Chains A and B, each alone.
Chain A
Amino acid sequence: MADIDNSILSVRKLDVKFHTDDGQVHAVKGIDLDVRAGETVAIVGESGSGKSQTMMAIMGLLASNGRVSGTARYRDTELIGLPERRLNTIRGAKITMIFQEPMTSLDPLYKIGRQMAEPLMYHKGMSARAARPRVMELLKLVGIPDPERRINSYPHELSGGQRQRVMIAMALANDPDILIADEPTTALDVTIQAQILALLAELQQKLGMAIVFITHDLTIVRRFADRIYVMRRGEVVEDGVTEELFVDPQHDYTKMLLAAEPTGTKAPPPPSAPVLLQGTDVRVSFKIGGGFLSGPPMLLQAVDRISVALKKGQTIGIVGESGSGKSTLGRALLRLLPSEGRIRFENLDLSKADREEMRPLRKELQLVFQDPFGSLSPRMTVGQVITEGLLVHEPSLSTKERDRRAIEALKEVGLDAASRNRYPHEFSGGQRQRVAIARAMILKPKVVVLDEPTSALDRSVQKQIVELLRKLQADHDLSYLFISHDLTVVRAMADYIIVMKQGKIVEEGQTADIFDNPRHSYTQTLMAAAVDTTKFRLAG
Chain B
Amino acid sequence: MTEAPTVLPAAAGIAPVDGEMALGRSLFQDAWRRLRRNKAAVASAVVLVVLALAGLIGPMVAPHSYDRIYPQYVRVPASFEAYPKEDAIVPAFESALARARITIGATEVNGNTVSAPISDDEPLDPRITRYLDRSDLFSNVRIDQLSADGRSGVMLADVSRLQFIFGTDNNGRDLLARILIGIRISLAIGVLASAMALVLGVTYGAIAGYYGGKIDSVMMRIVDIFYSLPFIFFVILLVVFFGRSFILIFIAIGATEWLDMSRIVRGQTLTLKRQEFVQAAEAMGATTSGILKRHIIPNTLGPVVVYATLLIPKAILLESLLSFLGLGVQEPLTSLGLLISEGAENIRGATWLLIFPAVTLTMILFALNFLGDGLRDALDPKDR
Residues of A bordering B, CB below 8 Å = 18, 20-23, 25, 27, 47-48, 50, 52-53, 56, 59, 61, 63-66, 91-92, 96-97, 99, 101, 104-105, 107, 115, 118-119, 122, 170-171, 233, 334, 336, 358-363, 365-367, 369-371, 374-381, 384-385, 388-389, 391-393, 418, 421-423, 425-426, 428, 431, 436, 439, 443
Q: Of B1, B285, B299, which one neighbours A119 at CB under 8 angstroms?
A: B1
Contact B299 A104 (CB under 8 A): no
Binds A, one of B25-33, B255-263, B369-377: B25-33
For A63, list chain B residues within 8 Å (CB).
6-9, 12
Contact B3 A61 (CB under 8 A): yes
Contact A379 B9 (CB under 8 A): no
Q: Of A20, A423, A436, which one neighbours B10 at CB under 8 angstroms?
A: A20
Question: In the complex the two chains form, what is the Cα distance from A99 to B5 in whole Å?
Answer: 9
A361 to B, closest residue via Cβ: B285
What would be 27 A-B contacts, judged by CB atoms less than 8 Å apart?
A: A22-B16, A52-B12, A52-B13, A63-B7, A63-B8, A65-B9, A96-B2, A101-B5, A104-B5, A105-B5, A119-B1, A170-B2, A336-B282, A362-B284, A367-B279, A371-B276, A375-B276, A377-B277, A377-B281, A377-B295, A379-B27, A379-B299, A381-B24, A389-B285, A422-B21, A422-B24, A436-B280
Contact B285 A25 (CB under 8 A): no
Binds A, one of B119-127, B131-139, B148-156, B286-294: B286-294
Question: In the complex the two chains form, what is the Cα distance from A64 to B17 in whole Å?
Answer: 21
Distance of B352 from chain A, by nearest CB (Å) = 46
Q: Is B298 an interface residue (CB 8 A)?
A: yes
Q: Is B275 an interface residue (CB 8 A)?
A: yes
For A380, list chain B residues within 8 Å (CB).
294, 298
Q: Of B4, B5, B276, B284, which one neighbours A374 at CB under 8 angstroms?
A: B276
Contact A97 B2 (CB under 8 A): yes
Q: Is B314 an interface residue (CB 8 A)?
A: no
For B13, list chain A residues within 8 Å (CB).
47-48, 52
Q: Of A25, A59, A360, which one neighbours B4 at CB under 8 angstroms?
A: A59
Distance of B377 from chain A, by nearest CB (Å) = 12
Distance of B209 from chain A, by nearest CB (Å) = 16
- Tell me which of A21, A59, A170, A381 has the highest count of chain B C-beta atoms within 10 A of its own C-beta: A21
* Given pairs A391-B286, A426-B21, 16 additional interface contacts (CB within 8 A): A21-B34, A47-B13, A56-B4, A61-B4, A65-B8, A92-B1, A233-B17, A363-B285, A365-B283, A375-B279, A377-B281, A392-B287, A422-B21, A422-B24, A425-B27, A428-B18
Q: Of B21, B27, B277, B283, which one neighbours A376 at CB under 8 angstroms?
A: B277
For B7, list chain A residues within 8 Å (CB).
63
How many residue pairs link A and B with beta carbons under 8 A? The number is 150
Q: Of A61, A377, A431, A439, which one neighbours B298 at CB under 8 angstroms?
A: A377
Q: Is B14 an interface residue (CB 8 A)?
A: yes
For B16, list chain A residues within 8 Å (CB).
20, 22-23, 25
Q: Is B23 an interface residue (CB 8 A)?
A: yes
For B295, list chain A residues within 8 Å (CB).
377
Majority DSSP secondary structure for residues of B touching A: loop
B249-277 contact mask (Cβ, 8 Å, vs A): 1 or 0: 00000000000000000000000000111
B277 to A, closest residue via Cβ: A377
- 4 A-B pairs closest in CB distance: A362-B285, A375-B276, A47-B13, A379-B298
For A369, list chain B residues within 8 Å (CB).
276, 279-280
B25-63 contact mask (Cβ, 8 Å, vs A): 1 or 0: 111001001100000000000000000000000000000
For A421, list chain B residues within 8 Å (CB).
23-24
Question: In the complex the two chains form, what is the Cα distance from A118 to B6 in whole Å?
Answer: 20
Contact B277 A423 (CB under 8 A): no
Q: Of A91, A107, A359, A431, which one neighbours B2 at CB under 8 angstroms?
A: A91
For A366, list chain B residues within 8 Å (CB).
283-284
B8 to A, closest residue via Cβ: A63
Q: Is B106 an interface residue (CB 8 A)?
A: no
A379 to B, closest residue via Cβ: B298
A117 to B, closest residue via Cβ: B1
B274 to A, closest residue via Cβ: A374
For B27, list chain A residues within 8 Å (CB).
378-379, 423, 425
Contact B276 A53 (CB under 8 A): no
For A378, list chain B residues within 8 Å (CB).
27, 299
For A371, list chain B residues within 8 Å (CB).
276
Q: Is B88 an interface residue (CB 8 A)?
A: no
Contact A388 B1 (CB under 8 A): no
Contact B9 A20 (CB under 8 A): yes
Q: Is B15 an interface residue (CB 8 A)?
A: yes
A367-B285 contact given A47-B13, A422-B23, A423-B27, CB 8 Å threshold? no
B288 to A, closest residue via Cβ: A355
For A233, list chain B residues within 8 Å (CB).
17
Contact B282 A392 (CB under 8 A): no
Contact A18 B283 (CB under 8 A): no
Contact B286 A392 (CB under 8 A): yes
Question: In the complex the two chains form, what is the Cα distance from A53 to B9 in whole Å?
Answer: 8
For A370, list chain B residues within 8 Å (CB).
276
Question: In the complex the two chains form, what is the Cα distance from A362 to B281 in whole Å?
Answer: 10
For A361, list chain B residues within 8 Å (CB).
285
For B5, list chain A residues within 8 Å (CB).
99, 101, 104-105
For A392, list chain B residues within 8 Å (CB).
284-287, 290
Contact B284 A389 (CB under 8 A): yes
A422 to B, closest residue via Cβ: B24
For A391, list chain B residues within 8 Å (CB).
286, 290
Distance of B286 from chain A, by nearest CB (Å) = 5
A180 to B, closest residue via Cβ: B2
Question: In the complex the two chains form, what is the Cα distance from A22 to B14 in whole Å?
Answer: 12
A374-B285 contact given A61-B3, A92-B2, A97-B4, CB 8 Å threshold? no
For A107, list chain B residues within 8 Å (CB).
1
- Tell me which of B2, B277, B285 has the highest count of chain A C-beta atoms within 10 A of its own C-beta: B2
Question: In the complex the two chains form, what is the Cα distance from A64 to B6 in whole Å?
Answer: 9
Distance of A471 from chain B, by nearest CB (Å) = 22
For A21, list chain B residues within 8 Å (CB).
30, 33-34
Contact B282 A418 (CB under 8 A): no
Distance of A399 from chain B, by nearest CB (Å) = 16
Question: In the complex the two chains form, what is the Cα distance from A23 to B20 in whole Å?
Answer: 11
Q: Of B6, B34, B283, B294, which one neighbours A377 at CB under 8 angstroms?
A: B294
Q: Of B9, B23, B290, which one neighbours A25 at CB under 8 angstroms?
A: B9
A53-B12 contact given A380-B294, A392-B287, CB 8 Å threshold? yes
